[in-house]
Amino acid sequence: MLVVAEDFFKHVDAGNTTNKLGSKVTPVSVNELFGLNTLGISLARIDFAPRGLNPPHIHPRGTEIVIVIEGTLHVGFVTSNQNNGQNRLFTKVLNKGDVFVFPIGLPHFQLNVGYGNAVAIAALSSQNAGVITIANAVFGSTPPISDEILAKAFQIDKNTIDYLQNQFWYDNN
Amino acid sequence: MLVVAEDFFKHVDAGNTTNKLGSKVTPVSVNELFGLNTLGISLARIDFAPRGLNPPHIHPRGTEIVIVIEGTLHVGFVTSNQNNGQNRLFTKVLNKGDVFVFPIGLPHFQLNVGYGNAVAIAALSSQNAGVITIANAVFGSTPPISDEILAKAFQIDKNTIDYLQNQFWYDNN
Amino acid sequence: MLVVAEDFFKHVDAGNTTNKLGSKVTPVSVNELFGLNTLGISLARIDFAPRGLNPPHIHPRGTEIVIVIEGTLHVGFVTSNQNNGQNRLFTKVLNKGDVFVFPIGLPHFQLNVGYGNAVAIAALSSQNAGVITIANAVFGSTPPISDEILAKAFQIDKNTIDYLQNQFWYDNN
Amino acid sequence: MLVVAEDFFKHVDAGNTTNKLGSKVTPVSVNELFGLNTLGISLARIDFAPRGLNPPHIHPRGTEIVIVIEGTLHVGFVTSNQNNGQNRLFTKVLNKGDVFVFPIGLPHFQLNVGYGNAVAIAALSSQNAGVITIANAVFGSTPPISDEILAKAFQIDKNTIDYLQNQFWYDNN
Amino acid sequence: MLVVAEDFFKHVDAGNTTNKLGSKVTPVSVNELFGLNTLGISLARIDFAPRGLNPPHIHPRGTEIVIVIEGTLHVGFVTSNQNNGQNRLFTKVLNKGDVFVFPIGLPHFQLNVGYGNAVAIAALSSQNAGVITIANAVFGSTPPISDEILAKAFQIDKNTIDYLQNQFWYDNN
Amino acid sequence: MLVVAEDFFKHVDAGNTTNKLGSKVTPVSVNELFGLNTLGISLARIDFAPRGLNPPHIHPRGTEIVIVIEGTLHVGFVTSNQNNGQNRLFTKVLNKGDVFVFPIGLPHFQLNVGYGNAVAIAALSSQNAGVITIANAVFGSTPPISDEILAKAFQIDKNTIDYLQNQFWYDNN
């Protein structure tokens, strides 16, 4: 089959942020744009309503670099366990034109702290970096993780775990 | 400096499981065994008291393959977000001689469900795979993540978030 | 030295397009943002005046994925030599929200064909992908390439080669 | 086809060491455990009778890290040719809990020097690291290597080469 | 299908240099020798008539190392854009037995400056490194690049561009 | 320090084959040509007297592709252990212009079976592929491998092992 220019092309519209989280990620990975195959990179547009949150998540196979196109974002990531047993949090408030890096595999988040909408473009160092929304993966998996495990891991009683596991976990990707 | 056989050697003892989680990971990564430098592999011994838990965690730079040396473990991992918005959980009960794989970057855990102690040997596909204990990274980071973010991400009130952030988060690595 | 959030941050302003080419690339590679070290990705903002051109160039160490933020761009890339001796050209007119991929090592260009300015965000699959502006490298190198070589390669007389080698070759990166 | 937990699971029993070498390697590579595909790691259990030998061999595509579970092993590896024309030998006696590294592509061996059986767990930095048992490959290949080549390479007469080529070469993998 | 020795074998004859450029590249890549698959290397024989030129070209996926077997070559490569906006040219005259390296993705060329024919063997760090003959790709693509783009990029009038685009662009690979 | 063209250059002369093996390898790796650093390729010239042998050896970090410049070579490589416990031998007689591939990590050899001298150019898929001459590494290591190990591995009495360990092992690299 002959390759054509359209194989390297994809249009991206603003995402619909009318949801629990007030944010929407529109990915352009190899799943959406086949010309990315073997090329080790992908892109996403992220839209935020006011106070909209892209909740703590992990890309298991890619570093993310983000640039703010519109609005103001509070962003951060947490390091892996340090020698002193801590996980350090790095945060920054980003405005239009600001660029920030979230290293591969580390939990990170973005919150719209401006008055209006916000838009960011993110690039990822994989054709298909994957997304694990942490709360969804831990409390909303199918089937659920044993509540003994979650109660001990999160230092919280089983009733609260059961309550959490019964929530609806929206995936904004 | 001349290289010697000791540069490729390290002794590993049983870990002390007298702690909140009832488990202890003893790593043999490039930090402990310099001869692993550039070689793309490392190892760990994991000890469990009865009901001891190696809580949900992520290795940002490595796949883990584990073999049970003694005891009985309930193990599992959660996939990244699927097209239907779900995160699938895969679990298995492992006995002596059983081998299981936790793919790179995915949250996984091990719980001792036998009557006695349990011991496993884990190998990782990186000289320094890193560990992110999820609950610790999310609720125990230094400084803490904004409770607005965690309350919205975990669908839980800020009081509970604040309670969680004030716990002591033990790192078993 | 302790790592801080600023190590992962960089601000990018609009580039000055008042030059021969009417375009300006503002890179955010590991040279500008040290936190990108080892992470395999970088970013750039590209500004275009009306009819501004980002001339045919090559990134020797990276694939580029670009999204149009404002304006209308005519973009294209040329393949490596095909079995029939041809080099195929792939082109597309991109508007706001359109995404396009330029595979690693292939010559590509972007021309602003709209009435106003244009802005694009490009991401590259390397912390330092490199740029070779083809005309500059071939006709403006220091010292110059022998005119015998260029005359034979470009099927053009040596006088024209000498004329070209005496031009000022502006680098918009 | 839906992926299931069993795709990431394999049981390993003790190997039968009643053979010429007194050792048996039981691999868990991608050939035995399909879930290892693309993940860059594999594992093996190695059993030794008293004086049992895992003879000099090479893994062409992987580094090995080994931990002794039971017994006492004399282990070693030989470096590639040094500037002075030598090949250095590194050896160590390992007891229970000792860990040792055999770098990728280097000839190495393990000999049970204790009174009872010995067991080791080895991990390899490839989903399918390959094994070349040196004596088997050199003297037991199908068809045989020309005895002119082996006589000159091993500084030994052709009769001895022919004798060696007529032995039964047991593969303990 | 059983693998046989012929899968790792290919014969290479002298190339026919009776053409515009006076040179001929005879590649032995994975396209010609299937046993190179996944092995990350390939080879080529390059023949030159007197004053024969292997014109400025790029291998998008491989470094080249060349050794002169016969004759005298003037060789060179141009760096990517430097901080001062320059592209540096490195050249050397090579005689029989001389070895030279052309780093991945950089434009390079070889010109026979001796009295007789010249022959070189080149190796490339990819099973299929690709070739982009710069003049052919820029002025001889199918379809042609817009002459507005080339006129602006090469600082030359559209008539000359049109003249160049109407030449026959011989591919010596 | 400014990079110069000489950093990418090295001259190679014919090797002296007046030695036990009747062959000499003259490497151009990163040790001899610093410009190869990070570029993943290197080269060697191999000279053979009549019946000269490049004895069975392994490159732990590289595939080799060889082209015969002069003479006639009998070449071969042995696979890693197959499922049926065999190691398959692939051989071929090569004449001038013939190209052959020795995949990474596999034992291989070249014997001059022509009437005159022979010359080959080899390229390797690493800046420093390493060489392990098998007989030297096994019987000539410093210090020697225990004769118990070698006697059992090679199915030969300890007296013959001791005799072999007392030979002079010439390294033709």
ipTM score: 0.95
Whether E131 sits inside 8 A of C80 (CB atoms) is yes
Residues E111 and E157 in one domain: no
Question: Within a 13 Å sphere around the CA of A44, how many CA atoms are in the beta-carbon half?
Answer: 28
Across the range E26-48, mean pLDDT stands at 96
User: Alpha-carbon distance C112 to C53, whole Å?
Assistant: 6
Q: How far apart are CA C41 and CA C123, in angstroms?
A: 7
Whether F154 and F173 map to the same domain: the answer is yes
CA F90, distance to chain mean position in Å, is 16
Domain membership of residue E2 (yes or no) is no
- For residue F95, the model assigns a pLDDT of 98
pLDDT tens digits along D102-132: 999 999 999 999 999 999 999 999 999 999 9
In this prediction, residue D2 has a pLDDT band, given cuts at 50, 70 and 90, of confident
User: pLDDT averaged over chain D?
Assistant: 96
Average pLDDT of span D24-50: 97
What are the tokens at C109? 């260009």
Residues A72 and A84 in one domain: yes
Strands, E assignment, B73-170: 73-78, 89-94, 98-102, 108-112, 118-124, 132-133
- pTM of the model as a whole: 0.94
Is residue A151 domain-shared with residue A116, that is, in the same domain? Answer: no
**Residue C17 burial (CB count, 10 A):** 19
Same domain for E110 and E161, yes or no, is no
Q: Do chains B and A touch (3 or more CB pairs under 8 A)?
A: yes
pLDDT band at B66; cut points 50, 70, 90 = very high
From C42, C63, C121, residue closest to A40, measured CB to CB: C63
**pLDDT above 70 for E1:** no
- The reply to whether A2 falls in a domain is no
* pLDDT (average), residues A63-90: 96
CA distance C16 to C28: 16
Neighbours of E159 (CB within 10 A): 10
Alpha-carbon gap: D76 to the closest alpha carbon of chain B (Å): 9
Question: Is D65 in the same domain as D122?
Answer: yes
CATH number at residue B84: 2.60.120.10
Q: Given pLDDT bands bounded at 50, 70 and 90, which one contains residue D44?
A: very high
Is the domain of E162 the same as that of E80? no
pLDDT of residue E2: 83
pLDDT tens per residue, range A20-47: 999 999 999 999 999 999 999 999 999 9
pLDDT at residue F33 above 90? Answer: yes
H or E segment to which residue C160 belongs: helix C158-165
pLDDT of residue B113: 98
Largest Cα–Cα distance of chain A, in whole Å? 59
Contact D109 F149 (CB under 8 A): yes
Q: How far is CA A138 from CA A132, A150, A163, D99, in A?
A: 10, 8, 13, 34
Cβ of F33 within 8 Å of Cβ of E98? The answer is no
Q: Residues 29-58, chain D: which have Cβ within 8 Å of B?
A: 33, 35-36, 39-43, 45
Helices then strands (H, E): number in chain C?
Answer: 3, 11
In a domain, E71, yes or no: yes
Residue F118 and residue F151 in one domain = no
- Whether residue A106 has pLDDT greater than 90: yes
Residues 6+ apart with CB under 8 A from E156: C160, C164, E150
Which residue among F86, F130, F143 places its CB closest to the CB of D105?
Answer: F130
Pairing of strands B132-133, B53-58: antiparallel
Query: Are B123 and B137 in the same domain?
Result: no
Closest C-alpha to E57, from E27, E15, E93: E27
Cα E138 to chain center, whole Å?
A: 15
- Measured from the Cβ of residue A96, the count of other Cβ atoms closer than 10 Å reads 17
SS (H, E, C) E42-98: EEEEEEECCCCEEEEEECCCCCEEEEEEECCEEEEEECCCCCCCCCEEEEEEECCCE
Pairing type for strands A64-70 and B89-94 reads unpaired
Q: pLDDT value at position A1?
A: 65
In a domain, E63, yes or no: yes
C-alpha to C-alpha distance for E61 and C63, rounded to whole angstroms = 11
Which ranges of chain D would DSSP assign to H, the alpha helix?
134-139, 147-154, 158-165
d(C-alpha A22, C-alpha A24), whole Å: 7
Asked whether residue F5 is assigned to any structural domain, the reply reads no
E strand residue ranges, D80-165: 89-94, 98-102, 108-112, 118-124, 132-133
Looking at residue C2, what is its pLDDT? Answer: 83
Best of B24, B30, B145, B148 to mutate (most A CBs within 10 Å, chain A):
B145
Q: What is the pLDDT of residue B1?
A: 65
Same domain membership, residue F91 and residue F41: yes
The count of structural domains within chain A is: 2
Binding-site residues of B for oxalate, please?
Answer: 54, 59, 64
Separation of CA E69 from chain center: 17
Please tell me whether residue C109 adopts helix, strand or coil conformation.
strand
Portion 81-110 of A in contact with B at CB < 8 A: 81, 85-89, 103-107, 109
CA angle A85/A91/A95 to nearest 5° reads 170
How far is the C-alpha of D66 from the C-alpha of E30, rounded, in Å? 37
Q: What is the least distance, in Å, from the CA of C115 to any CA of chain A?
A: 21
Give the tens place of pLDDT for each residue, C37-46: 999 999 999 9
Hey, what are F81's tokens? Answer: 């252990």
Residues F119 and F102 in one domain: yes
Closest CA to C106 of C121, C87, C84: C87
Name which of A53, A91, A149, A135 is nearest B138 in CA terms.
A135
Side chain identity, residue C19:
N
In Å, how far from its chain's centre is CA E110? Answer: 8
Model pLDDT, residue A41: 98
Per-residue pLDDT band at D143 (split at 50, 70, 90): very high
F121 and F146 within one domain:
no
Distances (CA, A) of B19 to B49, B136, E118: 9, 15, 75
Residue of E nearest to C56 (CA): E153
Would you say A95 and A72 are in contact if contact means Cβ atoms under 8 Å apart? yes
Domain that holds residue F97: 16-130
Which pLDDT does position D1 carry in this prediction?
66
**A near E: at least 3 beta-carbon pairs less than 8 Å apart:** no
Any residues with CB less than 8 A from the CB of B84 and at least 6 apart, and which? none
Residue ranges of the binding site of A for oxalate:
54, 59, 64
Distance separating alpha carbons of residues C24 and C52, to the nearest angstrom: 9
- Subunits close to D (at least 3 CB pairs below 8 A): B, F
Whether the link from the prior residue into F143 is cis, omega within 30° of 0, is yes
**Is residue B9, in this structure, part of any structural domain at all?**
no
Contact partners, residue D93, CB within 8 Å, separation at least 6: D72, D73, D74, D75, D113
B-proximal residues of D, 113-132, CB under 8 Å: 121, 123-125
| Run of H or E residues at F163 | helix F158-165
Q: Side chain identity at C138, as an amino acid letter?
A: V
CB B4 within 8 A of CB D92: no
B6 within some domain: no
Calculate the CA dihedral of residues B73, B74, B79, B82 and round it to 10 degrees: 160
- Judged by CB atoms closer than 8 Å, whether chains meet at F81 and D149 is answered as no
Residue F1 lies in a domain: no
**What does the block give as tokens for E100?**
């030279």
- What 3-state DSSP class applies to A127? coil
